[in-house]
Amino acid sequence: MIPGGSLAAGDRIEVRFDIEHQGSAGAYSFEVHWGTTTVLHRDATAGDSQGTGRAISPCGSEVRSRANQSWDTALPFATGVGTAADDYFTNGITIDSQALAASGDTVTLRNFSVVRVP
């Protein structure tokens, strides 16, 4: 959670993560949330064993834009852009990740960093 009042126009938030998939029962998915907005979602195959991604959001006074990129061992490189409606200046923002694996498989978050660049 980044508390309200911690961010200013011109700041940038960078999220970086690495995941590892163990097992071969089936596909899995992973995503990153910026408040109530899903800023990155990917569906990977059972053969994908390691993934990584980034989400970047510049803090502007009006437009809350964001960009992302992700890839896995077999999953192709993908990018995305969009906006998030959350008022992070006043209310702060929660940034988190989630993963879902087939029964018997596991997805382990190996790294998850959130950095504010003033």
Instruction: Please determine, for residue 24, whether its predicted confidence score (pLDDT) is greater than 80.
Output: yes
Instruction: Please determine, for residue 74, whether its predicted confidence score (pLDDT) is greater than 70.
Output: yes
Instruction: Please give the sequence-ordered ranges of beta strands (E in DSSP) within the chain, or none if there are none.
Output: 12-22, 28-34, 37-44, 50-58, 65-72, 78-83, 95-101, 106-117
Instruction: Please determine, for residue 100, whether its predicted confidence score (pLDDT) is greater than 60.
Output: yes
CA-CA-CA-CA torsion sign (77, 82, 88, 93) = negative
The pLDDT tens digits for 34-52 are 888 898 999 998 889 999 9
Mean pLDDT for the stretch of residues 72-93: 85
Average pLDDT, whole number, for the chain? 89
Instruction: Please determine, for residue 63, whether its predicted confidence score (pLDDT) is greater than 70.
Output: no
What is the three-class DSSP state of 99?
Answer: strand
- For residue 20, the model assigns a pLDDT of 95
- For residue 62, the model assigns a pLDDT of 59
